Amino acid sequence: MKNLKTLLIIATLAAGAAQAQTAMKPGNAPMAMDSKKEMAAPAGDMTEAEVRKVDMDTKKITLKHGDIKNLDMPGMTMVFQVKDPAMLDKVKAGDKVRFKAEKSNGAIVVTDLQPSK
């Protein structure tokens, strides 16, 4: 009986060690770091876009944009809320801009909007 318990303990330790080794190989990130959606975008990571519409009444902007990397979102045309409605005073339909967006209370919100250079 003592030998059986020792054998089970050794087998359990060996299985745990093998699993730990697999998790530490390149490309096998731990589960907590696996999701791109949970990672923050680099500070300078802005998305290129063209303003399609500015709606001052609803405080929203329609942008035809490229990939939004921090949200893992492909390029498309969509309507965004803006964090600061004063941003809308600086742009008009047809303008080329760079912007940052993030999820906030279930919506995607433009947090920074700058004219493209």
Full residue range of the structural domain in which residue 15 is found:
2-34
* pLDDT given for residue 22 in this prediction: 53
CA distance 48 to 68: 9
The token duo for 83 is 């964090």
CA distance 64 to 67: 10
Cβ partners under 8 Å of residue 5, min gap 6:
none
Can you list the residues of the chain whose pLDDT is less than 50?
A: 30-43
Kindly state whether residues 69 and 110 are assigned to the same domain. yes
Question: Which domain CATH number covers 56?
Answer: 2.40.50.320
Number of domains in the chain: 2
Kindly state whether residues 21 and 77 are assigned to the same domain. no
CB 110 within 8 Å of CB 61: yes
Kindly state whether residues 42 and 24 are assigned to the same domain. no
* pLDDT given for residue 1 in this prediction: 62
* pLDDT given for residue 45 in this prediction: 84
Kindly state whether residues 17 and 66 are assigned to the same domain. no
CA distance 117 to 112: 15
Look at the pTM and tell me if it is higher than 0.85. no
* pLDDT given for residue 35 in this prediction: 39
* pLDDT given for residue 74 in this prediction: 96
* Element counts in the chain: helices (H) and strands (E): 1, 5
